[in-house]
Amino acid sequence: MAHKLVIVESPAKARTIGGYLGSGYVVESSIGHIRDLPNNAADTPAKIKDKPWGRLAIDVDNGFEPYYVVPRDKKSHISKLKQLLKDADELYLATDEDREGEAIAWHLLDELKPKGIPVHRMVFHEITKAAIQEAAANPRELDMDLVEAQETRRILDRLYGYEVSPVLWRKVMSGLSAGRVQSVATRLVVDREKERMAFKVASYWDLEGTFDAGSKHDQRMFPAKLHSIDGTRVASGSNFGQDGQLKAKADVVHLDKRRAEDLVAALADTSYDVRSVEAKPYRRSPYAPFRTTTLQQEASRKLGMSASVTMSVAQRLYENGFITYMRTDSTTLSGNAIAAARAQVQELYGAEYLPDAPRTYASKVKNAQEAHEAIRPAGDSFRTPAQTGLTGDQFRLYELIWMRTVASQMKDAVGQSVTIRLGGAAGTGEDVVFSASGRVITFHGFLKAYVEGTDDNAAKDDQETRLPNLQEGDPVSAASLSANGHETKPPARYTEATLIKELEDREIGRPSTYASIIGTILNRGYVYKKGTALVPAWIAFSVVRLLTEHFTRLIDYDFTALMETVLDDIARGEKDRVSELSEFYYGSERLAGLQRLVTELGDIDAKELATFPVLDDDGAESGIDLRVGKYGPYLEGPDDGSGTRVRANVPDDLPPDELTVEKAKELLANPAGEEIDLGVHPETGLQVVAKNGRFGPYVTEVLPEDAPKGAKARTGSLFKSMSLDTVTLDDAVKLISLPRIVGVGEDGEEITAQNGRYGPYLKKGTDSRSLTSEDQIFGITLDEALKIYSQPKQRGRAAAAPPLKELGNDPVSGQPVVVKAGRFGEYVTDGEYNATLRKDDSVESITIERAAELLAERRAKGPAKKAAKKGAKKTAAKKTTAKKSAAKKAPAKKAAAKKS
DNA sequence: CAGTGAGCGAGCTTCCGCTTGACTT
């Protein structure tokens, strides 16, 4: 039977809308984007792989034409949609009405290719029966200008990310990344840390007292603070700047301890009178209903949920029909929602809390796309939290959303704020004024339902301080007075919630990505969490420095906002996508293009980039440098002219702003870190210790201070079977005795056994042979050693690697194909060509057909040996780097994955 | 960053935004 096919983005939405449209309609979802640029080489179609721009999947030479693919996990879904389309007599593309939604609609059209049936673009902002039916009755055309704007955004992000990231691989560390959003987020965290490092603590003092209004007042005692001396204000926290120091223009008295205490003494006999009473009406309007970022902030402040936890809990609430869509930048409530909230206000708080007219909230977000409603309880009447039957996190998050929504339709809170000034004369003749402020809320309004949390210790909106009802001229006495010292505090580190807020304020990122932005910069190792604070790692300093020095425009805080302006122009048909992308990539008279920036890297000095002088409190250089190395951050002591500088590791979890000159000196004084005393060597009498070094744990002798120049401490790596915790003095004595002389060969040359870079081995002159186990170093006899030397050298190597699996014969070469485990992972070989298994292959699942495919691909590239010989040295060096950094990265990723 | 020798298959990392399940731990 023929039907009309409606495609929306979200499955949950499809279910709801299906119910509103009734029979005759089939509502399905696209589940987000259905096509994208290929993610990596494995997903890149063969026909563009070999193009110079194949890696980008954007033909930068021909109008920046993008090459889209349907990701593997979406293929079956696309077939399902195609199947549904076969029996459809009309197609409604009902994706979200924003830039991305318009593009999804176009991708659907382009991929499904409906033949001979009408296609409509249907849009709605509310999911109510009336709104959906009206939308279906009044469809529009696809807005191709808006699609162009989306493609421009997508292409620009790809060019930025996939061109700049490789620069970081070459200059900083393999596997790193750069992007329009993550790099700015990282920069924010790094810049904040730099502010903290430049911060110098200042102290200031003030006076606080408890005053007595006399027995005729109900509220007799009240607190007040010193306000001014002889008409000049006393310095308080707000007079100090971001650097911690008194602002240059501050016309204030800066009290120190002595002056403050002297003043307390001079005020011992002072009586006061009320100089002024200033009352102002206090009025506070409700907060707007939740959008993604405000929900994430409040869930963090009140429920202690991370952004990603908040989103997944909200997702479950959404899927089960408890709340509206949770990825939104809109604070707008539908008419039904306003009515539901108002009904609930009436019911729970009474008519006096209900404003005469419904409240509406305009979006504060500058680049808001408003495709959805605010986040609120779902339905035309709200369920109270108790009525939902929810538990745990879902209950608590629902309650938060429900309260916020209901409160948004309540009356303002009103009251009075009062400032009272008290004056008196000090014994020294100075005129002093104290100030007391109070707030009384006479009608709580929405505050009765919902009070927003605060990030620092700022007063909450419902906080009250009552003052006595004093009049000008009334006498007041001081019950107690004290001098209090304060210190200026550095700007606080970002938390997930405050960083997200900052990004939103700067129009960077979208509701669907805020939580994952945090994930990205954590996973790359740019930042780590210390409690809830985001602390930048030193490698982030290197990356931000490279980007600010060489890609200044791209990491500018305004880059995204400027891009949005251009995209809006494209969406209105006023600018052309190709010329904008061309300017971005190839440059113009006024701008350097990205392509030139990433190819002309000669002046990027990787070493300099990774070096940060450790500065003292006055910002002067100490001669000590922090450097970001392959093994993490380390310190280099001052150059004393000896040619070598003392080095020391910096603990991974030492926040950059805690690396003072004193701390650096302390670390340099004990460069090796912890060492374990094993005792005294029975023969030499020297102390023997175990340490962790560059190549892992090892033992070494401690040479006496009067040891002759040039004397070297003997060392030895621990065997793999040993560990720092369990190694004994006996083990150590044996290890440092190496190499062991096994005997003399037939040619008169000495054969020794030892441990090295590639494991245990025998050495005879320049001829070396691997051993299979570390125990052989001590156990092997001369006869066995001679036997090994009697065999040709190749043998030990080949014998060590039996194939993991035999697959049969290759159809092309006819040779047997086997799977082997190699240095770079598992690979298949037919004896001549080797091909590494790809991400989706495994030893268990691989077939001869797949192996033949891999070998055919490999064969197409020609023999490897010639290529390998070219610039062999350079390649070898690079390989080592890549391998080490990969090895280093793996555990970090695992740890991150475990947490989440 | 302790200091010791070879020779073995390269291939891939990465962006931002839109959506959920299908995975494993």
Intervals of chain A under pLDDT 50: 795-800, 865-900
How far is Cα A565 from Cα A571, in angstroms, rounded to an integer?
Answer: 10
Nearest to A358 by CA among A424, A305, A405, A302: A405
Q: Which pLDDT score is estimated for A581? A: 98
Residues 260-299 in A having a C-beta less than 7 A from any atom of strand B are none
Q: Which pLDDT score is estimated for A895? A: 36
Q: Which pLDDT score is estimated for A780? A: 87
How far is Cα A122 from Cα A131, in angstroms, rounded to an integer?
Answer: 11
| Tens-place pLDDT, residues A589-640 | 989 999 999 998 877 888 899 999 999 988 899 999 999 987 788 999 888 7
Instruction: Specify the pTM.
Output: 0.84
Is A585 a catalytic site residue? Answer: no
Q: Which pLDDT score is estimated for A882? A: 32
How far is Cα A765 from Cα A256, in angstroms, rounded to an integer?
Answer: 76
- In the structure, how far is the CA atom of residue A160 from the C1' atom of nucleotide B16, in angstroms? 10
- In the structure, how far is the CA atom of residue A157 from the C1' atom of nucleotide B15, in angstroms? 5
Nucleotide minimizing C1' to CA distance for residue A173: B13
Q: Is the CB of A637 under 7 A from strand B?
A: no
For residue A701, count CB atoms less than 10 angstroms from its CB and return exposed for 0-12, middle for 13-18, buried for 19 or more.
Answer: buried
Q: Which pLDDT score is estimated for A694? A: 65
β-partners of residue A673 are none
Extract long-range pairs of A761-765: CB within 8 Å, 24+ residues apart.
A762/A788, A762/A789, A763/A739, A764/A789
Q: Is the CB of A321 under 7 A from strand B?
A: no
User: Could you say which nucleotides of strand B lie within 7 A of any protein CB atom?
Assistant: 1-21, 25
Q: A92, A325, A494, A514: which is the annotated catalytic residue?
A: A325
**Could you write out the three-class secondary structure of A194-248?**
HHHHHCCCCEEEEEEEEEECCCCCCCCEEEEEEEEECCEEECCHHHECCCCCECC
* C-alpha dihedral, A862 to A866 to A868 to A873, nearest 10°: -160
Q: Is the CB of A858 under 7 A from strand B?
A: yes
Q: Which pLDDT score is estimated for A794? A: 53
- In the structure, how far is the CA atom of residue A763 from the C1' atom of nucleotide B4, in angstroms? 11
Q: Which pLDDT score is estimated for A862? A: 62
Nucleotide minimizing C1' to CA distance for residue A801: B8
Q: Which pLDDT score is estimated for A870? A: 36
Residues 50-109 in A having a C-beta less than 7 A from any atom of strand B are 55, 73, 96, 98-101, 104
Q: Is the CB of A415 under 7 A from strand B?
A: no
Q: Which pLDDT score is estimated for A674? A: 64
| Tens-place pLDDT, residues A525-538 | 999 999 999 999 99
Q: Which pLDDT score is estimated for A672? A: 56
User: Strands of A632-636's sheet, edge to edge?
Assistant: A611-615, A621-629, A632-636, A647-649
Residues 160-199 in A having a C-beta less than 7 A from any atom of strand B are 160-162, 165-166, 169, 174-175, 177-183
CA distances A486 to A5, A255, A436, A590, Å, are 68, 10, 19, 50
Q: Which pLDDT score is estimated for A243? A: 92
Q: Which pLDDT score is estimated for A891? A: 35
